[in-house]
Amino acid sequence: MTSPLEAAELRARILLLLGLLASLIALGTLGYVLLEGWSFLDGLYMTLMVLTTVGLGEVKPLHPGGKWVTIALMTVGIGIVLYALTTLAETVLRSLTSPRRHVRQVEKRMHKLQNHVIVCGFGQVGEQVCHALHEAGYSFALIERDPARVRHAQSLGYLVLEDDATHDDALRRAGIERANTLVTVLDSDASNLYVTLSARQLGARVSIIARSNAPESAHKLERAGADRVVNPYRASGLSMASLVLRPSLAEFVEKITLGNLDFRLEEIRLGPDSGLIGSDAAQLARLGVTVVAVRGADGSIRRSSSQLHLRAGDVLLAIGTDVEMQALEAAAGSDARNRGA
């Protein structure tokens, strides 16, 4: 990236070259006017024609004084013009290849994001989070400060900001005020705590999912504002234990989560104008989907039964084919796909 000192030196070179060119044009024009008795326009025209090497011929026959002016312009002026063009090309090339230009493009794309997910950290856990979000078609912005990890994320086509996620400015640039969910999976519990505190202060409505390596850090993260705290070691241990205790169920959950079956498990949120509000299990069954449970707006989870009556904000945990799910999402309303808590 071009340093401020290099940028200042480049600007000084450009200003010097522009000054030399202006002086050369002025002196050449004045020489033709004084030594040849030409008009200002003829002198300017002849000067520019020599400097640009257009070679259209002399405006008028030259006397010895005019020829010396032309020789001076060709000897000194053409070199300055070529050097100026080289400097201009160098400036344009630097601006096109400058990392700062790429940063501006990334920030411009991030500024357009709405209701997106912000992922902080691109280690082993963060990479899996980004992969799952990408496969599901979610819009997300990644914040990572390690250059090697940034390059890896860019090679996968992810929108990544090279910055420290613990800084408030990095979260603002990633659109924390407009984000729906923030996932912080940095290597350090302290760093995840800083990110959680900053995110909760900057984005009051954002749902925060934080990684915790130590069990004692979970309560601190929750007090800092995290809605969900996940210990990857505990989660992987429970997953492996499930393969021992309930292998068929564990295999089913894994396959349906990864989309390896011809039907899928999805959560569908009911919008305020949903036609399903007030419906019961029998009416849902007509859509062809199987509703396993319903999560209420208060966080309570109810199983699907004949006494079930849906309310706005309820989240349906349903199983069905793509066609059946599309029908359910259409009936649920504009807020159908649950992308938050």
Q: DSSP secondary-structure letter at 239?
A: H
pLDDT attached to residue 339? 43
- Residue 281's φ and ψ, nearest 5 degrees, are -65, -35
Is residue 118 within 8 Å of residue 181, measured between CB atoms? yes
User: What predicted TM-score, i.e. pTM, was given to this entire model?
Assistant: 0.62
Which of 56, 47, 51 is closest to 78 using CA atoms?
51
- CA–CA distance from 123 to each of 74, 92, 101, 140, 144 (Å)? 61, 36, 26, 16, 9
Alpha helix (H) ranges present in the chain? Answer: 4-36, 40-51, 64-72, 78-97, 99-111, 124-136, 147-155, 168-173, 189-202, 215-224, 232-245, 247-258, 281-285, 322-332
Q: Which residues of 166-175 are buried (b: 16+ CB within 10 A; e: fewer)?
A: beeebbebbb
- Give 154-162 contacts, CB < 8 A, sequence gap 24+: 156/130, 158/130, 158/134, 159/106, 159/109, 159/110, 160/106, 160/122, 161/103, 161/106, 161/107, 161/110, 162/103
Residues of the chain with pLDDT under 50: 1-2, 336, 338-341
pLDDT attached to residue 220? 94
pLDDT attached to residue 7? 64
pLDDT attached to residue 188? 93
CA distance 73 to 287: 85
Q: Residue 27: CB partners within 8 Å, gap ≥ 6?
A: none
Burial class (CB in 10 A: 0-12, 13-18, 19+), 272: exposed
Tally the residues of the chain.
341
Structural domains of the chain sorted by starting position, each given as residue range(s) with its CATH number in brackets: 4-97 (1.10.287.70), 101-230 (3.40.50.720), 262-341 (3.30.70.1450)
Q: Residue 261: CB partners within 8 Å, gap ≥ 6?
A: 255
Strands 117-120, 181-184: pairing is parallel
pLDDT attached to residue 321? 84
Which of 181, 205, 222 is closest to 339 using CA atoms?
181
- Residue 219's φ and ψ, nearest 5 degrees, are -65, -35
pLDDT in tens, 218-240: 999 999 999 999 999 888 898 88
How far does the chain reach from its first CA to its final CA, in angstroms? 40
- Residue 230's φ and ψ, nearest 5 degrees, are -120, 125
pLDDT attached to residue 3? 52
